[in-house]
């Protein structure tokens, strides 16, 4: 009989700060597809796989961290969670809080959240506060709230978030039989690159993997504090999920980059949108703009001659394209060819006759 997936905490409990009998709030996150991306492999001369995190319950990798964070909130007896968000953290927090029966408040940058993500926070019953500022301002507000009031912070500065998120590295090693040569992912607040590095290191230390990959992080040009070497004031990019100027996990991300022998570079919004369209049209995976930054960064590295021939490379595509159809469809012709109820007309229109 097939073994059913039990969510990341139960699947990887021996690697996580949880024990049998602890409350576990799960929506069945993790166990996401690792898809061979032939079209990208051909372009870069390597063996490229996409870790499709948009297949998580709320459509992004944030669910891996949220199951851990919310489970701990329940264990500690808190009744209200808060987060700042560029969209996906709030979608995930709202869903897991709903499952746990907790109140959830989300603080968002006004006008900068994709419609699908906003819808998720609303339908899952979160209380929404929009700030006339950017994500970094929102994070400052919720950190101060959690310091002074009885509410639990579930942003990635909550250490349980990174614990949950590291399980994606475990899944990749389990599926490939070892760690890849290189792992590429988008970098915003920098929790995820830090979590993957922690996961890869632990798997190498404890035996399931024999090595660790080089970590390649990719930022958007208008929001690239790691490339600049310092926080930036007014981050701007079409990839709203990585529109962050002052990443919370700065030191951990720098350690992931340097200890792994990797780098963090930037790509333009044009490169991001081109990669998003290519992944959809040629690999069959619809990702959101921030997610496509990983592939855009890989393509740029190949162009610069920096991709080792035949290397095994995994790219995290972090979130589902359905969350932001407005960006994906911008500039496209949407009107289908109109035909009567007639097979011949359909055949004609398709050039079959
Ligand atoms: C949160 C998020 C990111 C950025 O991850 P960090 O851990 O903040 O670096 C990238 N892509 C998507 C879709 C996200 O939701």
223-233 residue pLDDT tens? 999 999 999 99
Least confident of 29-38, 135-144, 330-339: 330-339
90 CB within 6 A, ligand 1: no
From the CA of 315, how far away is ligand 1's center (Å)?
Answer: 13
293 CB within 6 A, ligand 1: no
Contact between residue 262 and residue 216 where contact means Cβ atoms under 8 Å apart: yes
In the prediction, which pLDDT does 333 show?
A: 84
Could you give the CA distance from residue 220 to residue 276 in angstroms, rounded to a whole number? 13
In the prediction, which pLDDT does 353 show?
A: 84
Contact between residue 163 and residue 191 where contact means Cβ atoms under 8 Å apart: no
290 CB within 6 A, ligand 1: yes
Element (DSSP H or E) covering residue 51: strand 47-52
Q: Give the Å distances, CA to CA, from 315 to 8, 49, 121, 295.
A: 20, 6, 27, 7
164 CB within 6 A, ligand 1: no
289 CB within 6 A, ligand 1: no
**Residues 6 or more apart in contact with residue 216 via CB below 8 angstroms:** 182, 183, 184, 185, 262, 263, 264, 265, 297, 298, 301
From the CA of 138, how far away is ligand 1's center (Å)?
Answer: 16
Q: What is the mean pLDDT of residues 254-267?
A: 98
Q: What is the DSSP letter of 83?
A: E
pLDDT at 169 over 90: yes
In the prediction, which pLDDT does 334 show?
A: 85
SS3 call for 302: helix
pLDDT at 1 over 80: no
From the CA of 169, how far away is ligand 1's center (Å)?
Answer: 15
Element (DSSP H or E) covering residue 10: helix 8-11
Write the residue with the smallest CA distance to atom 8 of ligand 1: 189
First-to-last C-alpha distance (Å) of the chain:
49
62 CB within 6 A, ligand 1: yes
219 CB within 6 A, ligand 1: no
In the prediction, which pLDDT does 250 show?
A: 98
Per-residue tokens: 181: 């040569």
84 CB within 6 A, ligand 1: no
Distance of CA 33 to the CA centre of its chain: 14
Interior CA angle at 193 toward 134 and 130, to 5°? 20
What's the chain's average pLDDT?
Answer: 97
Strand order in the sheet with 80-84: 127-131, 103-109, 80-84, 152-153
Candidate of 189, 254, 264 to mutate for ligand 1, largest count of ligand atoms within 8 Å of Cβ: 189
**Residues 6 or more apart in contact with residue 143 via CB below 8 angstroms:** 153, 155, 157
Bridge partners for 215 per DSSP: 183
Place of tokens 């040569």: 181
Position in ligand 1 atom list of the atom nearest CA 189: 8
Could you give the CA distance from residue 327 to residue 298 in angstroms, rounded to a whole number? 22
Could you give the CA distance from residue 92 to residue 187 in angstroms, rounded to a whole number? 18
Q: Is the pTM of this model over 0.85?
A: yes
Position in ligand 1 atom list of the atom nearest CA 318: 13
pLDDT class of 2 with cuts at 50, 70, 90: confident
Bridge partners for 153 per DSSP: 82
Strand pairing class (47-52; 34-36): antiparallel
Position in ligand 1 atom list of the atom nearest CA 194: 7
186 CB within 6 A, ligand 1: yes
pLDDT class of 3 with cuts at 50, 70, 90: confident
């Amino acid at each position: 009989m097939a073994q059913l997936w039990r969510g990341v905490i139960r699947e990887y409990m021996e690697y996580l700060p949880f024990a049998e009998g602890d409350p576990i709030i799960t929506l069945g996150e993790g166990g996401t597809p690792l898809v061979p991306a032939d079209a990208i492999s051909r372009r870069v001369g390597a063996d490229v796989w996409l870790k499709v995190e948009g297949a998580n319950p709320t459509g992004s990798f944030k669910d891996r961290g949220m199951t851990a964070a919310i489970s701990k909130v329940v264990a500690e007896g808190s009744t209200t969670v808060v987060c700042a968000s560029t969209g996906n953290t709030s979608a995930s927090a709202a869903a897991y809080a709903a499952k746990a029966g907790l109140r959830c408040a989300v603080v968002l940058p006004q006008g900068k959240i994709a419609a699908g993500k906003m819808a998720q926070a609303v339908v899952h019953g979160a209380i929404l506060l929009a700030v006339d500022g950017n994500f970094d301002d929102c994070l400052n507000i919720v950190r101060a709230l959690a310091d002074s009031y009885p509410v639990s912070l579930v942003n990635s500065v909550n250490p349980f978030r990174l614990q949950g998120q590291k399980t994606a590295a475990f899944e990749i090693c389990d599926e490939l039989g070892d760690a890849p040569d290189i792992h590429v992912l988008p970098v915003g607040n920098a929790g995820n690159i830090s979590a993957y590095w922690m996961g890869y290191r632990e798997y190498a230390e404890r035996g399931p993997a024999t090595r660790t990959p080089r970590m390649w992080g990719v930022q958007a040009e208008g929001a690239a504090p790691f490339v600049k070497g310092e926080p930036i004031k007014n981050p701007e990019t079409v990839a709203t999920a990585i529109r962050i100027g002052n990443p919370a996990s700065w030191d951990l991300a720098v350690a992931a980059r340097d200890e792994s022998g990797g780098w963090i570079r930037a790509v333009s919004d044009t490169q991001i949108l081109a990669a998003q369209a290519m992944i959809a049209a040629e690999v069959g995976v619809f990702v959101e703009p921030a997610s496509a930054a990983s592939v855009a960064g890989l393509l740029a590295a190949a162009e610069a001659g920096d991709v080792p021939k035949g290397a095994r490379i995994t790219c995290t595509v972090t979130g589902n394209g359905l969350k932001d159809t407005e960006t994906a469809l911008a500039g496209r012709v949407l009107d289908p060819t109109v035909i009567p109820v007639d097979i011949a007309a359909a055949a004609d229109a398709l050039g079959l006759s």
